[in-house]
Structure 1
Amino acid sequence: MSELILERLVVGYGDGAPVLDGLDLTVADGAVVALLGANGAGKTTLLRALAGLTPARSGRILLGGTDLTGLAPEDRVRRGLALVPEGRGVVVELTVEENLRLGALWRHRGAARQRALDEAFELFEPLARRRHAAGHTLSGGERRMLALARALIAGPDVLLLDEPSLGLAPLVTAHLLGVLHETAARTGTTVLLAEQNVTGALSVADRGVVLNLGEVVADRPAAELSGDPRLRHAYLGF
């Protein structure tokens, strides 16, 4: 089970006011949830708190009934949680294949590792063509593909993505989101997707959660949220 539950989560930076102040949220096992909101709404802070990169001041983070709140980031990864941060996630000195092998290290061995690599290259054909290329030679779209592929190859129970389509061409964005949707459906991976591309995110999500100033102001089925013009105009800008 990979149900993710946040209870009264308070997160901030330094001595400043909390960015998230008593946030409650449940992400069902196997669900794809689009985390939406304007810049400064708290999306990245929430993902960093889940990954353990920004400690919670109070509250609890439960994954499958296990309390992750006090665990180090690497221990959360071992419990099945993976974060693809905005614009990062690739070791630029390594080749595409070396990056993927790094992602597969602790989840796969021997023939299983090779099968996982083959599956990653089938999902992301542009990476297969550049498997021996160094990370620093990849385009922005290829780097995003590689970051997502490296996270997926580890077989996470919960995948956290921060603005995966930022700055990408529409066709690349559509490919990334399509792979994400297909993989989540096939593997049952729980996905929390923070995106400025509201239309794209809602097209692959089961539910949409809208944040405003660190609070959840809407949590609805994706189709219902997309079809509510008042909510869209008020918080999503379209």
Structure 2
Amino acid sequence: MSAALSVRELVVGYGGAPVLRGVSFDVDEGTVVALVGGNGAGKTTLLRTVSGLLTPSAGSVHLDGEDLARVGVEDRVRRGLAQVPEGRGVITELTVEENLRLGGLWRRDPADLRAALAEMYALFEPLERRRTTLGHQLSGGERQMLAIARALVARPRVLLLDEPSLGLAPLVVAQIMRVLRELCDRTGLTVLLAEQNVAGALSVADHGLVLALGEVVASRPAAELAGDEALRHAYLGF
């Protein structure tokens, strides 16, 4: 199995203070990798660096073998890398469908865009019923579904998700996780999932990375991490 995303010796800091300290890992094509750890571990910083929003002081990020050092955020999206940031950042003044269309703005084939929208409505049925509803009228769960669906309209090969379960009801979280697992199994989508809901993330992941104080302290199959009681107590709080 080939690596869709490779991170090597990544060092990132703010104001001279290091946040990531030599982080290295691979995310194999068609897998879900759960990036877990407590507040301040560096999960969001890592995702923002991979997506191009932050510039590392050392190290590299490769997408399908291509070094992204000189590739800007928009071009990373065109190459197949998409991020859903924490906070369900939909445009609240636009409808569900208008938000989704924004995700496919750079797609030149109208039929392709229509097909992508239809697929999102099939995956996230609540959005189909709310397609003319403004973003500010949606529930928290519907906003999260919309944020993920908007990223998927671009048909990325690698999807970065930052805390998608934050503040959501367990049933909504379970639905979102099910859709992600289904997409990986059916389409070969690759997902790097940063989560504080450790049990939920590991339940759908193939592999798990434990981040603590900016360093990867464990990298194992997800089931092994979930079953390691000493490691869970030391780093994951459950």
TM over 0.5: yes
Indicate the RMSD between aligned Cα atoms, in angstroms: 1.2
Structural mapping, 1:37-116, within 5 Å: 37-107=37-107, 109-116=109-116
Does 2:125 align with 1:133? no
CA distance in 2, matches of 1:167, 1:16: 32
Structure 2 match to 1:3: 4
1:73-124: CA deviation from partner (whole Å, max 9, x where unpaired): 1111111100000013311111000111111222362222112111111111
After TM superposition, the score normalised by the length of structure 2 is 0.96
Name segments (4+ residues, structure 1) moved above 4 Å. Answer: none
Q: Contact 2:29 / 2:190 at 8 angstroms: preserved in 1?
A: yes
Q: Which runs of 5+ in 2 are unaligned?
A: none
CA distance in 2, matches of 1:202, 1:105: 33
Q: Contact 1:160 / 1:193 at 8 angstroms: preserved in 2?
A: yes
Paired residue secondary structure (1:56): coil
Does 2:168 align with 1:168? yes
Q: Contact 1:3 / 1:29 at 8 angstroms: preserved in 2?
A: yes
Q: Contact 2:100 / 2:150 at 8 angstroms: preserved in 1?
A: yes
Q: Contact 1:37 / 1:210 at 8 angstroms: preserved in 2?
A: yes
CA distance in 2, matches of 1:114, 1:2: 30
1:204-225: CA deviation from partner (whole Å, max 9, x where unpaired): 1000100000000010001111
Return the letter of the residue paired with 1:56: P
Q: Contact 1:202 / 1:226 at 8 angstroms: preserved in 2?
A: yes
Structure 1 match to 2:31: 31
Return the letter of the residue paired with 1:170: P
After alignment, is 112-121 or 219-228 more displaced? 112-121
Paired residue secondary structure (2:7): strand
How many residues are matched?
237
Q: Which runs of 5+ in 1 are unaligned?
A: none
CA distance in 2, matches of 1:115, 1:27: 28
Identity of aligned residues (%): 67
